[in-house]
Amino acid sequence: MKFKLLIILAIILNTGCKQDTTKDIETTKNEIKKEWWKEQVVYQIYPRSFKDSNGDGIGDIPGIISKIDYLDSLGIDVVWLSPHFDSPNADNGYDIRDYRKVMEEFGTLEDFDTLLNGLHDRGIKLIIDLVINHSSDEHKWFQESMSSKDNPYRDYYIWKPGKETNPPNNWPSFFGGSAWEQAGPDGEYYLHYFAKKQPDLNWENQQLREEIYELMRFWLDKGVDGFRMDVIALISKPQNFDDMDNEGLKHPEYTYAYGPRLHEFLKDMNKEVLSKYDVMTVGEAYGGNAEKTLEITDERNNEIDLAFWFDAVRVGRDNFKQNEWTLPEFKKLVKAQSDVNSHNWPTFFLGNHDNPRVVSKFGDDSPEFRVTSSKLLAMLLLTQRGTTFLYQGDEIGMTNYPFTSFDQFDDVEIKGNYNKIIASGSTPESYLADLNKMARDHARTPMQWSNTNKAGFTSGDKTWLGVNPNYPEINVNNNLQDKHSIFHFYRRLLNIRKGNDNLIYGDYKDIAIDHPQVFAYTRIGKNKTYLVVLNMSKSMVDFSLDNKFKGYNLIINNLNDDTTTIEHNKLTLQPWEARLYESN
């Protein structure tokens, strides 16, 4: 009898324990291997737009060097430099003519070394952009390859005969028109997923692969700390060059990406090059579903460390349209990328040089809420689970540019797709309206340093892309002077995150995923739990919390310097209010 009672008691206690651990917010289920690259906040610099040192209206490396102290004072860990290589600039450097030279407009190799050393001296790492799916058509490999069918470089690119007077198949280019272009004396066509001036490299060719490994070693031996890999999921081409079906044509990235030899190529690159250095790699892995992306970043596969997932950043995007989206939709996408298994590590970012400004897309860039909502987005960014990427200018709340005509754009993608978009039923006015929401050029306007001429970006009287007219108000100087600025809020959050294992490695749990206005989640570390509550709307919201959060301390919020303890379980949140609480 006694024995039976004991068993019943044990069962009750045991179930009690089980319930506790599943709902318990103070325990973590993760056993994640610590790695330095999992802990970084990376600041992306688009060199053309960061800082011009010589008055020609184009940002350059000496300009970046002059701002290393600024980067240091912000408190980021790594700089990702968008392409700095010699290029004819068909796609602002994503078309490389010489992988071992610095773009003349940006400076010299010595300048690059000075930048690298300057960053390293302050404990900041540098990763560079590796664009190896395609080169420039002005690269010497392509010039040779085009010159004749028998040239030893012919096979470095993908050449096919046309079908009568048509290209080999109906594949479209991401930048408009066919993905094939006829060139050279033999009348064959070469493949270009992007612009005509960006011919795709043929990864099937082993000699080409070895050349790429060599150029990677060239930069790694200089001491760079890793690579961001441009459209890396595209390097292995689908091998049936027959026509695709209509669905494929509508979303070519799904047909082009994750080709049959991708894993083999990445494993080989890892073995031959990456494994020999202590570096980080992050792939732009556009075009696949979660399962495919996870395969390239699974630590057991020895391919690359990290990948950018685009679903959350592009919520509501349909090609060139930015449709309405809801907060629960967005939160579910964030949760999906956060919930990866323990053999993968996520990334988190809200914008980059290919997307609109974060406050204009995810916040509210009206004068009333720009500052508050930019700070909220800072909190969202810096309390997520994953290696974090912050894009230049977001730390001062830069906004989309008010484009009023097509001649204000520079982007090859916008121009290349114009005819297709008009043919598909848009008017120039509606295309312009769409571009005002999602164009890549919003993120590429010059960084706004001060309220002087051209926002202090250049001493000259022209800039390669227009300066946003709001620079007299939105600029770095104003931010530095005001201790309640967006910049200082980023700094404080970066400081809270740095070295904080609970916040960096803790589990992520959305506690109100269906709430239409509030984004609230916990980060459950081994010793502490953080609670983040974000009102992502311009109305006041009452938000109820579970009793278990009683006693949590508010450590930073975006409205004032108050620090309080949660005494009631009902919070009243102001428009765009953001709060970060910590357990005892």
Active site residues: 230, 284
**Which entry of ligand NOJ, Ca ion, none binds 231, CB below 5 to 8 A by partner kind?**
ligand NOJ
Residue 496 interacts with ligand NOJ (CB under 6 A)? Answer: no
Residue 495 CB, shortest distance to ligand NOJ, in Å, is 30
Query: Which of 80/112 has CB closer to ligand NOJ?
Result: 80
**Which entry of Ca ion, ligand NOJ, none binds 60, CB below 5 to 8 A by partner kind?**
Ca ion
Q: Which residue is nearest to Ca ion (CB)?
A: 60
Residue 367 CB, shortest distance to ligand NOJ, in Å, is 31
**262-272 vs 206-222: helix crossing angle, rounded to 10:** 40
Residue 129 CB, shortest distance to Ca ion, in Å, is 19
As given in the structure block, the two tokens for residue 366 are: 């009206």
- What letter does residue 33 receive in the DSSP assignment? P
Binding residues for Ca ion (CB under 5 A): 52, 54, 56, 58, 60
Residue 449 CB, shortest distance to Ca ion, in Å, is 14
Query: Which of 44/372 has CB closer to ligand NOJ?
Result: 44
Residue 57 CB, shortest distance to Ca ion, in Å, is 7
As given in the structure block, the two tokens for residue 364 are: 């509210």
Q: How far apart are CA 406 and CA 418, in angstroms?
A: 10
- Give the binding-site size for ligand NOJ (rule: CB under 6 A): 9
Query: Which of 47/416 has CB closer to Ca ion?
Result: 47
Q: How far apart are CA 271 and CA 418, in angstroms?
A: 43
* HSE-up (13 A, CA, CB side) for residue 460: 15
Q: How far apart are CA 70 and CA 568, in angstroms?
A: 41
Among residues 111, 200, 303, 354, which is the contact residue for ligand NOJ, using CB under 6 A?
Answer: 354
Among residues 188, 268, 284, 295, which is the contact residue for ligand NOJ, using CB under 6 A?
Answer: 284
**262-272 vs 290-297: helix crossing angle, rounded to 10:** 20
Query: Which of 225/230 has CB closer to ligand NOJ?
Result: 230
Residues 6+ apart with CB under 8 A from 61: 47, 84, 102, 106, 107, 108, 111, 112, 114, 115
Residue 383 CB, shortest distance to ligand NOJ, in Å, is 26
**Which entry of Ca ion, ligand NOJ, none binds 284, CB below 5 to 8 A by partner kind?**
ligand NOJ
Q: How far apart are CA 437 and CA 371, in angstroms?
A: 19
Query: Which of 52/413 has CB closer to Ca ion?
Result: 52
Q: How far apart are CA 537 and CA 348, in angstroms?
A: 21
Residue 94 interacts with ligand NOJ (CB under 6 A)? Answer: yes
Cβ atoms 512, 563 nearer than 8 A: no
Task: Name residue 81's beta-bridge partners.
Answer: 45, 128
DSSP H helical ranges for 408-475? 412-416, 418-423, 428-438
Residue 91 interacts with ligand NOJ (CB under 6 A)? Answer: yes
Among residues 103, 201, 231, 313, which is the contact residue for ligand NOJ, using CB under 6 A?
Answer: 231
Distances in Å between the alpha carbon of 581 and those of 109, 549, 558?
46, 9, 12
**Which entry of Ca ion, ligand NOJ, none binds 58, CB below 5 to 8 A by partner kind?**
Ca ion
Helix, strand, coil shares, percent, the chain, to 5 = 35, 15, 45
Residue 465 interacts with ligand NOJ (CB under 6 A)? Answer: no
In Å, the largest CA–CA distance within the chain is: 96
- Quick note: the x/- pattern for ligand NOJ over 305-344, rule CB under 6 A, is ----------------------------------------
Query: Which of 51/353 has CB closer to ligand NOJ?
Result: 353
**486-497 vs 370-382: helix crossing angle, rounded to 10:** 10
Task: Name residue 508's beta-bridge partners.
Answer: 523
Cβ atoms 391, 351 nearer than 8 A: yes
Residue 213 CB, shortest distance to Ca ion, in Å, is 32
Residue 53 CB, shortest distance to Ca ion, in Å, is 6
**Which entry of ligand NOJ, Ca ion, none binds 309, CB below 5 to 8 A by partner kind?**
none
- As a three-state string, the secondary structure of 163-189 is ECCECCCCCECCCCCECEEECCCCCCE
**Which entry of ligand NOJ, Ca ion, none binds 91, CB below 5 to 8 A by partner kind?**
ligand NOJ
Residue 409 CB, shortest distance to Ca ion, in Å, is 21
Query: Which of 444/497 has CB closer to ligand NOJ?
Result: 444
**Which entry of Ca ion, ligand NOJ, none binds 52, CB below 5 to 8 A by partner kind?**
Ca ion
Q: Ramachandran region of residue 258, left (φ > 0), alpha (ψ -120 to 50) or beta?
A: left
Distances in Å between the alpha carbon of 461 and those of 1, 79, 106, 456, 476?
93, 29, 18, 11, 20
Q: State residue 451 phi and psi, 5-degree precision.
A: -95, 15
Among residues 112, 156, 194, 389, which is the contact residue for ligand NOJ, using CB under 6 A?
Answer: 194
**Which entry of ligand NOJ, Ca ion, none binds 56, CB below 5 to 8 A by partner kind?**
Ca ion
**Which entry of Ca ion, ligand NOJ, none binds 510, CB below 5 to 8 A by partner kind?**
none
Query: Which of 230/434 has CB closer to ligand NOJ?
Result: 230
Residue 131 interacts with ligand NOJ (CB under 6 A)? Answer: yes
Query: Which of 230/364 has CB closer to ligand NOJ?
Result: 230
For the CA atoms of 155, 136, 197, 159, the dihedral, rounded to the nearest 10 degrees, stands at 0
Residue ranges that bind ligand NOJ, judged by CB under 6 A:
91, 94, 131, 194, 230-231, 284, 353-354
